[in-house]
């Protein structure tokens, strides 16, 4: 997740020439994230629908396994990274995890933007969900929210549909603010 920031971290950890198949671990002593609201799970009834909202989350990639171009990973079609994220509340308590895979689809010819596909499973207070979708990673690196369709697969999320969103924290590498809304 967070490709440009991931690229920097992988280069620093594994060395630019040894990235193919390398593993990068972000040390526990890495800089803390900036402020975020406390994580909360809310249930609501919107127009007769049972909804679950989880917000105030801080998500940090702690492990990444790249595949592709060794000199500059995640820059060419077909390059990919599998990743593991810890999801924390504002107090720093781990409240969930995400495991996923991101693949570069293309570098768009019209503007040079990197277009990628994410596919992940996320465990949070209240249940497990699956989300996936295509995103303009260049726009996300510029401050846009990444937004994916999500479906609940277990617990209180089971059978619900909605969105999972995250936005990079400009103050902390490999870190994003995240929220989920599922209804059904």
Distances (CA, A) of 183 to 2, 57, 88, 90, 149: 27, 19, 23, 24, 12
With a threshold of 0.75, does the pTM exceed it?
Answer: yes
Q: What is the pLDDT along the chain (184 residues), one digit of tens a residue?
A: 444 444 433 333 332 222 222 333 333 333 333 333 334 555 555 566 799 999 999 999 999 999 887 677 888 899 999 999 999 998 999 999 999 999 999 999 999 999 999 999 999 999 999 999 999 999 999 999 999 999 999 999 999 999 999 999 999 999 999 999 999 9
Question: In whole angstroms, what is the distance from residue 75 CA to residue 83 CA?
Answer: 17
Q: What pLDDT, in 10s, does the model give residues 93-105? A: 999 999 999 999 9
**Which residues, in sequence order, are CB contacts of 132 under 8 Å at separation 6+?**
117, 118, 119, 120, 148, 149
Query: Does domain 3-183 sit in CATH 3.30.70?
Result: no
Where are the chain's structural domains? 3-183
Q: What pLDDT, in 10s, does the model give residues 123-158? A: 999 999 999 999 999 999 999 999 999 999 999 999
């Amino acid at each position: 997740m967070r490709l440009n920031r991931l690229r920097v971290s992988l280069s620093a950890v594994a060395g630019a020439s040894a990235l193919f198949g390398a593993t990068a671990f972000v040390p526990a002593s890495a800089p803390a994230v900036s402020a975020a609201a406390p994580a909360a799970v809310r249930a609501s009834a919107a127009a007769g629908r049972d909804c679950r909202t989880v917000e105030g989350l801080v998500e940090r990639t702690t492990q990444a396994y790249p595949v592709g171009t060794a000199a500059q990973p995640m820059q060419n079609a077909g390059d990919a990274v599998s990743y593991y994220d810890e999801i924390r509340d504002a107090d720093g308590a781990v409240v969930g995890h995400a495991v996923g895979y991101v693949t570069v689809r293309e570098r768009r010819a019209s503007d040079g933007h990197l277009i990628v596909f994410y596919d992940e499973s996320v465990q949070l207070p209240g249940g497990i969900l699956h989300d996936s979708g295509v995103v303009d990673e260049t726009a996300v690196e510029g401050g846009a929210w990444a937004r994916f369709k999500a479906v609940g697969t277990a617990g209180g999320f089971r059978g619900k549909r909605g969105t999972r969103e995250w936005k990079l924290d400009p103050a902390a590498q490999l870190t994003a603010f995240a929220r989920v809304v599922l209804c059904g």
